[in-house]
Chain A
Amino acid sequence: MNAVSNDGSGGASPPATGGTVTMTYVQALNEALREEMERDPTVFVMGEDIAVWGGGGVFGVTKGLVDIFGPERIRDTPISEAGFTGVGLGAALTGMRPVVEYMYADFMMVAMDQIANQAAKIRYMFGGKARVPLVLRTQEGAGRGNGPQHSQSLEAWFTHIPGLKVAVPSTPADAKGLLKMAIRDDNPVVFLEHKLLYGKKGEVPVGEHLVPFGRANVLREGRHVTVVGVHITNDHALEAAEILAPEGIELEVVDPRTLVPYDREAVAASVRKTGRLIAVHQAPERVGVAAEIIQCAIEDAFDYLDAPPMRLCAANMPVPYAKTLEDADLPQVADIVGAARRLMSGRSVTTAGSR
């Protein structure tokens, strides 16, 4: 694994060329697409309603790009997820670098043969003689009342399939740097954005900004409890850290940024320092990535653990619509606060099935 950076800088990002600018997560994604399309004429984007609708996609990620690059490279597709995934794969094998957009991660389930049986396996099946520079971009997650078929967090599905890389940016800077990196990668990358993060603001390096895969980012340092989150649950953890700080409980929030490759050493290093671990995500608990995060930490840092690691996840059920139900289903800031307090109280708490 790569060396671990605990300085909060996010590791080995090359120095930005022109300082930073404040922008939203969606603007950062848009900038990454624009810069990569300007840099490389084989990069193009295709998906449903990305060109005409609202000037650039339901969430605005491709806003304005069709005016710059035209409808050939910002390509609206028929509603045929399996079909256009296969088309993207074929284009990737033959000289293009497609970025395929799915309006919702849930819709990727329609294309799973093309993703899991074809794109993920082709390089290996062909004995390493093919390159698949294909980005499969979408947004996932709950919290907006989109209901059971528009709110899933599906990162565990893709993480489980060998041959796919999986990115889960939680900040505007990472959204830009990871997407630019994904587009330059010669492997299929499932790039999972989060629908609640699109409006999040942050400092984003101007121009060339690449975030390497497999390099976690310590969002906040602390001595007592390591919290590893996915997407917006990292923001929840940062809020929880503010609440707990006056009590003398320090959270260290570690954002893995990519799940494949996964920076297990960064998490292990944090756990060796804190002795306590909470993994948190909006996906259901059962066989979620929290289980993998915890198991890796047990293997890597068992002797340093002062308490059983905990996971805070959605319940093993579809994501409900009504706000009261959705809030109850998802891990909240208060859940992280409560879990950290329990870990610090010295009481061993078994969390499986507690939600």
Chain B
Amino acid sequence: MADQRPQGKTNAAGGRSPKAGGRKAKAAKLVETTGLRPDELIGLLQRMMLIREFEEECARLYRAGRIRGVTHTYQGQEAVAVGVCSTLNVSDFITSTHRGHAHVIAKGGDVNLMMAELLGKATGYCKGRGGSMHIADMSQGILGANGIVGGGMGIAVGAALSSKMLGRDTVAVCFFGDGAMNQGILHEVSNIAACWNLPVVFLCENNFYGMSASVEDTLACKEMNLAGRAAAYDIPAATCDGMDVIDVHLATRAAVERARGGGGPSYVVCTTYRFLGHHVGDPLTYRDKSAVDPWRLRDPIPNFAGRLVADNLATREQVDRWEAEAKDAIARALAFAEESPDPDPSNLTEDVFA
């Protein structure tokens, strides 16, 4: 098995300079390094905490048989969703994946409506019609999670085409995983985005596994340089540390600014890890039980909390309180969902057509 130990800050051909993030940034003052205000930095931590608590609750609910079908959780990857979406405006667009709860929360989704959807309630985002893999919020530019690997890539590029044709300055971010690197449509829409110079960021979360298929077994990619594929389309690419919300933020910000400024598409590859299985209940037979240990040491939430404390942007007490607030928010979301009515079967066929 190839080395999957965390490498910290990584960098690829065409990538960003190492000084922008990673361990070096840790030593620097976060406000200076990022240009973000203290409340914005704290917001990154709070948003990651909210995602973690949401996903932990999802796992509990799924194991208790209260979420139907399958659900894919995101523990360990929170820095990616939050780092990316913190660079976007409400009017910007994202497309998400089957592991999409975090993207929705990070882009401004409402956890009450999300939890209600997971419990199949009429008040859910999709009125119980979609479930975990189809949450969308058009008002927040969230063009949907997706049950098909790679399924949202064309949609993201289409949103970017709209931006250009309508003369708007909005940007689209297309989230996908390492597994989707091998879907043909990525090739097609990367080429289209480059030919038409569209404002889209192809945002790959490399968590090393497409379900059970490891990147080393399934990606023909020299030295696991996933971002290197972008060179085929003359698209600039960066690889960043997906366990570090600041590194993700900075790498994505550069790509988003380029897109918004008319500079066309980018690839950003975030090296990260899912702490748990492909879905809740995955026995993880394909991965060493201990493989996750070094990654857990780089858990993006306590690590970033520690940096905020080190920078005197927060106290330990505040961090503890924010975690408690996140738990409370999810408890309220669950209560909202539980109190909500089931969908009325008399409405079964509504919404097939406008």
Cβ of A83 < 8 Å from any Cβ of B?
A: yes
CB-CB under 8 A for A94 and B144, given A72-B165, A123-B352, A127-B130: no
CB-CB under 8 A for A87 and B161, given A77-B192, A127-B351, A165-B353: yes
Cβ of A88 < 8 Å from any Cβ of B?
A: yes
Cβ of B188 < 8 Å from any Cβ of A?
A: yes
Q: Is there an interface contact between B159 and A94, defined as CB atoms closer than 8 Å?
A: yes
Q: Which residue of B lies closest to A118 (CB)?
A: B151
Q: Which residue of A lies closest to B95 (CB)?
A: A90
CB-CB under 8 A for A127 and B192, given A87-B157, A90-B154: no
Q: Is there an interface contact between B188 and A80, defined as CB atoms closer than 8 Å?
A: yes
Cβ of B21 < 8 Å from any Cβ of A?
A: no
Q: What is the distance, in angstroms, from A161's C-beta to the closest C-beta of chain B? A: 11
Q: Which residue of A lies closest to B135 (CB)?
A: A126
Q: Is there an interface contact between A186 and B144, defined as CB atoms closer than 8 Å?
A: no
Q: Is there an interface contact between B351 and A86, defined as CB atoms closer than 8 Å?
A: no
Residue from the list A72, A73, A80, A127 in contact with B129, Cβ < 8 A: A127
Q: What is the distance, in angstroms, from A110's C-beta to the closest C-beta of chain B? A: 9
Interface size on B, as a range, is 35 or more
Tell me the chain A residues, 125-146 only, with Cβ under 8 Å from chain B: 125-132
Chain A residues in 8 Å Cβ range of B351 = 123-124, 127-128
Total of A-B residue pairs, C-beta within 8 Å: 154
Chain B residues in 8 Å Cβ range of A91 = 158-159, 161-162, 165
Q: Is there an interface contact between A78 and B352, defined as CB atoms closer than 8 Å?
A: no
| Segment at the A interface, from B45-53, B120-128, B288-296 | B120-128
Q: Within the assembled complex, what's the spacing in Å between the Cα atoms of A95 and B353? A: 18
Q: Is there an interface contact between B143 and A90, defined as CB atoms closer than 8 Å?
A: yes
Q: Within the assembled complex, what's the spacing in Å between the Cα atoms of A150 and B154? A: 25
Chain B residues in 8 Å Cβ range of A96 = 161-162, 165-166
A276-295 interface mask toward B, CB cutoff 8 Å, 1 = contact, 0 = none?
00000000000000000000
Q: Which residue of A lies closest to B122 (CB)?
A: A127
Q: Which residue of B lies closest to A90 (CB)?
A: B158
Tell me the chain B residues, 311-354 only, with Cβ under 8 Å from chain A: 350-354
Residue from the list A83, A89, A130 in contact with B192, Cβ < 8 A: A83
Tell me the chain B residues, 163-189 only, with Cβ under 8 Å from chain A: 163, 165-166, 172, 184-185, 187-189
Q: Which residue of A lies closest to B354 (CB)?
A: A186
Q: What is the distance, in angstroms, from A221's C-beta to the closest C-beta of chain B? A: 32
Q: Is there an interface contact between A125 and B144, defined as CB atoms closer than 8 Å?
A: yes
Q: Is there an interface contact between A126 and B153, defined as CB atoms closer than 8 Å?
A: no
Q: Within the assembled complex, what's the spacing in Å between the Cα atoms of A83 and B150? A: 11
Q: Is there an interface contact between A88 and B158, defined as CB atoms closer than 8 Å?
A: yes
Residue from the list A86, A127, A128 in contact with B155, Cβ < 8 A: A86
Q: Within the assembled complex, what's the spacing in Å between the Cα atoms of A78 and B193? A: 11
Q: Is there an interface contact between A82 and B192, defined as CB atoms closer than 8 Å?
A: no
Cβ of B297 < 8 Å from any Cβ of A?
A: no
Q: Is there an interface contact between B136 and A126, defined as CB atoms closer than 8 Å?
A: yes
CB-CB under 8 A for A113 and B148, given A77-B192, A90-B143: yes
Tell me the chain A residues, 43-91 only, with Cβ under 8 Å from chain B: 44, 72-73, 77-78, 80, 82-91
Q: Is there an interface contact between B192 and A80, defined as CB atoms closer than 8 Å?
A: yes
Residue from the list B137, B147, B153 in contact with A117, Cβ < 8 A: B147
Chain A residues in 8 Å Cβ range of B146 = 118
Q: Within the assembled complex, what's the spacing in Å between the Cα atoms of A185 and B354? A: 9
Q: Is there an interface contact between A90 and B148, defined as CB atoms closer than 8 Å?
A: no
Chain B residues in 8 Å Cβ range of A113 = 148, 151, 185
Chain A residues in 8 Å Cβ range of B134 = 125-126
Q: Is there an interface contact between A78 and B192, defined as CB atoms closer than 8 Å?
A: yes
Q: What is the distance, in angstroms, from A50's C-beta to the closest C-beta of chain B? A: 15
Chain A residues in 8 Å Cβ range of B136 = 122, 125-126, 129-130
* B134, B151, B154, B195 interface centre (most CB from chain A within 10 Å): B154
* B144, B158, B192 interface centre (most CB from chain A within 10 Å): B158
Cβ of A93 < 8 Å from any Cβ of B?
A: yes
Q: Is there an interface contact between A127 and B154, defined as CB atoms closer than 8 Å?
A: no
A109-122 interface mask toward B, CB cutoff 8 Å, 1 = contact, 0 = none?
00001100110001
CB-CB under 8 A for A125 and B130, given A80-B192, A94-B93: yes
* B124, B160, B354 interface centre (most CB from chain A within 10 Å): B354
Chain B residues in 8 Å Cβ range of A114 = 151, 154, 185
Q: Which residue of B lies closest to A117 (CB)?
A: B148
CB-CB under 8 A for A130 and B138, given A86-B185, A94-B162: yes
Q: Within the assembled complex, what's the spacing in Å between the Cα atoms of A94 and B139? A: 11
Q: Is there an interface contact between A129 and B138, defined as CB atoms closer than 8 Å?
A: yes
Cβ of A15 < 8 Å from any Cβ of B?
A: no
Q: What is the distance, in angstroms, from B337's C-beta to the closest C-beta of chain A? A: 15
Q: Is there an interface contact between A125 and B129, defined as CB atoms closer than 8 Å?
A: yes
Q: Is there an interface contact between B124 and A90, defined as CB atoms closer than 8 Å?
A: no
Chain A residues in 8 Å Cβ range of B143 = 90, 93-94
Q: Within the assembled complex, what's the spacing in Å between the Cα atoms of A44 and B161? A: 11
Q: Within the assembled complex, what's the spacing in Å between the Cα atoms of A82 and B158? A: 12
Q: Within the assembled complex, what's the spacing in Å between the Cα atoms of A335 and B175? A: 54
Q: Within the assembled complex, what's the spacing in Å between the Cα atoms of A328 and B130? A: 46
Q: Is there an interface contact between B162 and A127, defined as CB atoms closer than 8 Å?
A: no
* B130, B137, B163, B351 interface centre (most CB from chain A within 10 Å): B351
Q: What is the distance, in angstroms, from B174's C-beta to the closest C-beta of chain A? A: 9
8 tightest Cβ-Cβ pairs between the two chains A and B: A86-B154, A90-B158, A83-B188, A128-B351, A80-B188, A127-B127, A90-B155, A127-B126
A-B contact pairs, 29 of them (CB 8 A): A77-B192, A78-B195, A82-B184, A82-B185, A83-B154, A83-B157, A83-B187, A85-B154, A86-B151, A86-B154, A87-B154, A87-B157, A89-B154, A90-B159, A90-B161, A91-B165, A94-B158, A118-B146, A118-B151, A118-B152, A122-B136, A123-B351, A125-B129, A126-B130, A126-B136, A127-B351, A128-B129, A129-B137, A130-B136
Residues of chain A having any CB pair with chain B under 8 Å: 42, 44, 72-73, 77-78, 80, 82-96, 98, 113-114, 117-118, 122-132, 162-163, 165, 185-187
* Besides A94-B93, A117-B147, 19 other A-B contacts (C-beta < 8 A): A78-B195, A83-B191, A84-B154, A86-B157, A90-B154, A90-B159, A91-B161, A94-B163, A95-B166, A96-B161, A98-B158, A113-B148, A113-B151, A123-B352, A126-B130, A126-B134, A130-B144, A132-B354, A187-B353
